[in-house]
Structure formats: C-alpha cells, structure tokens
Amino acid sequence: MASEYAFDTTRKSGELAAVIKNGVCSAKVVDPGAFTKHAVELIGRVHSSEYVRAVQTGNPGHLAESQGFTWDPKLPTMVVAHSAGLVAAVTRVLVGTDRVAGSLSSGLHHARRDHGAGFCTFNGLAVAAAAARELGAERLLVLDLDAHCGGGTRSLTDPANVAQIEVSTSSYDHWSASGHDALLMANPGNYVAQVSEALDRADRAGRFDIVLYNAGMDPANSEVSGTDLALRERMVADWADRRGFGLVFALAGGYTGAALSMGDLVALHKLTVDAFA
Ligand SMILES: [Zn+2]
C-alpha cells in the first residue's frame, strides 16, 4: 500500500501542475528550489537529529521507513522538497508578495519529532509554522480539513502561538483539544455544517497573522460529495478573504480507488487551487 500511496501523492501533484501550467486555471506554480537549504535547516529544528539522519542515509531502516515507505536514495530529496514548497509559500505571504500561496505537496500532519507516521516523513505544516514564526508571525492558525486528524502537527507546534482547528472524518491520529483548539468529527451528512462551525471557532479564537490550511480531499474517500468539498473550498477562501488573513494551502490527502479515478482526484484538488487563485 505504501508504494500505491506514494504513487498517488506524487502523480496527482504532477498532473495538477500540468493542468495549471496548461492555463486551465489561473494559479501559479512556484519552484521551491531556492528554499531547499532553509527547509533543511527548519526540518532540523522540528525533527530530532537522529531521525533526520536516518531519513538522509536510510539507516537505521526502522526509523528511515517509519512513515511506511520503502527507503530509496531519492526519498530525502523528495521529502525535503515537500517542506521547501511550504516554506516558499509562507515566505511569499509573509513578505507581502501574495496574500494567498499554495504548495502542491501535502501538509504531512502525522509526522512526529523523532519518527514518521501514516506515510508522512517530515511534518510540512510544523516546518511551515517554524518558517512563519521566524518571519515574525505571532499568531498562527492550522486549519486542517484532511479526513484524518493531525496529531503529529499538534505535537510539534506551541499552543501558545499556534491554534489548531480541524474537521475530520476519521479518528486516525486523534488528539485532545483544549483552549482555542477544536477537533470536530464529521460525516457526509453534517460535513458542511461542521466546516462552518470550525470557521466560527476560528473567529472566536481571534486574529491570525497567517493561516496554514491543510486542504485534504480524502473526505471524498469517506463519501463526502464533490459538491460539498467545492463548497468547503469557497467557504474557507471567502472566510480568509473577508478577514484579510494571509493563507498558505497544502493539498494533503486524497486517494484513487474504486469510486475515484485519477481524473476525479485531480479535479477535486483543482477545486482548492481554483478557490484560492
Ligand atoms: Zn488524510
């Protein structure tokens, strides 16, 4: 299953990038190459040195493959690129180049300080939060609407300056919410209502210098409709727009299956790019 997961995650980003480059939608794909060095430095702050070394070298194998992938020499470059994309997007927003920017990589919200989990190697959202703090953001919101919970990210950020609000359809990587945090469980029947409740909770939590939005499309794998996911993207985009919040999105989960072809999946992720373009 790991290789299948990697295949979906890698291939859907490539196909979506092609759609964007072909001018089918108006967003720009930014090359994160210039942020690689900075991303490596931030990964070294978010994750333990023993774990980072394991991912770089493949040894020890149990750590290098703790996310669920078979290690190969290309893995370190790929997982650093995921974080670099988010660091590039955060930088564009906080230096004022764009109010909204996105990365075609995932938020990778299950990764922990000293090991990977749930096919997440380095926690891109936690790396993005570290980049934002360094650029002067005082209050951050992680808005995680991936189907799965983001317990990894919550374990890697400081609740004193990072609030985390989620709507999940699966209890995987569940965490316990306190303060301004919220972890709302949803099903296809109440999904949009729970997203609306999440945005209300975010309003009650105050103002944010930046919103890190993990825009998973895997609620579709739990039978949330494409119509509801399209509505969700417009709700989040309008909400951030009305409040003037800077926002960085990551594509996050979404998997092909019996009821979801690669074309369907790319169309779902394109909803996010279109809503924020
Ligand atoms: Zn997920």
Amino acid at 9: T
Q: What is the CATH number of the domain that holds 57?
A: 3.40.800.20
pLDDT given at position 10: 62
Q: What is the mean pLDDT of residues 224-237?
A: 97
Alpha carbon distances (Å) from 75 to 35, 87, 207: 18, 19, 37
143 within 8 A of 165, measured Cβ to Cβ: yes
Residue pLDDT, tens place only, 74-88 = 999 999 999 999 999
pLDDT given at position 19: 67
Q: Give, as residue ranges, everything with CB less than 5 Å from ion ligand 1.
A: 146-148, 216, 218, 253
In the structure, what pLDDT confidence band is assigned to residue 4 with cuts at 50, 70 and 90? very low
pLDDT at 91 over 90: yes
- For residue 228, the enclosing domain spans 2-276
Question: Hey, CA dihedral for 204, 147, 112, 87, is it positive or negative?
Answer: negative
Residue pLDDT, tens place only, 128-164 = 999 999 999 999 999 999 999 999 999 999 999 999 9
How far is residue 91's CA from residue 40's CA, in Å, rounded to a whole number? 15
pLDDT at 13 over 80: no
pLDDT given at position 157: 97
Count of structural domains within the chain: 1
Q: 19 alpha carbon to ligand 1 midpoint, in Å?
A: 23
Burial 11-29 (b: 16+ CB within 10 A, else e): ebbebbeebbeeeeeebeb
Q: What is the mean pLDDT of residues 168-183?
A: 96
Question: Strands, E, within 175-246: which ranges?
Answer: 182-185, 210-214
Q: 20 alpha carbon to ligand 1 midpoint, in Å?
A: 23
pLDDT given at position 3: 36
Q: 204 alpha carbon to ligand 1 midpoint, in Å?
A: 26
pLDDT at 57 over 90: yes
Q: Quick one: 230 exposed, middle or buried, by C-beta within 10 A (0-12, 13-18, 19+)?
A: middle
Q: What is the mean pLDDT of residues 8-28?
A: 63
Q: 218 alpha carbon to ligand 1 midpoint, in Å?
A: 6
pLDDT given at position 27: 54
pLDDT at 15 over 80: no
Q: 170 alpha carbon to ligand 1 midpoint, in Å?
A: 8
How far is residue 32's CA from residue 103's CA, in Å, rounded to a whole number? 9
pLDDT given at position 175: 97
Nearest to 104 by CA among 263, 261, 254, 240: 254
pLDDT at 202 over 50: yes
pLDDT given at position 1: 30
pLDDT given at position 2: 36
